[in-house]
Amino acid sequence: MIYKKTLVLINNAIVVSSQQELKAWWYKYVVISKLVARL
């Protein structure tokens, strides 16, 4: 039972961190595209 809860917590942590990385990547993409548009 404890083992299963630990797996769920680890899985949730991975999902949250990957969402944050996606947001960071998207933000970089937006900034770069705006800089390119200025050129």
Cα gap 4→38, rounded to integer Å:
52
- Whole-angstrom CA distances from 25 to 10, 18, 28, 31, 37 are 22, 10, 5, 10, 18
Block residue for tokens 């996606």? 22
Residues 30 and 20: their CA atoms lie apart, in Å, by 15
Question: The domain containing residue 1 runs over which residues?
Answer: 1-38
pLDDT of residue 31: 93
Count of structural domains within the chain:
1
pLDDT of residue 11: 93
Question: Which pLDDT belongs to residue 1?
Answer: 72
1-39 pLDDT per residue, tens? 788 999 999 999 999 889 999 899 999 999 999 999 987
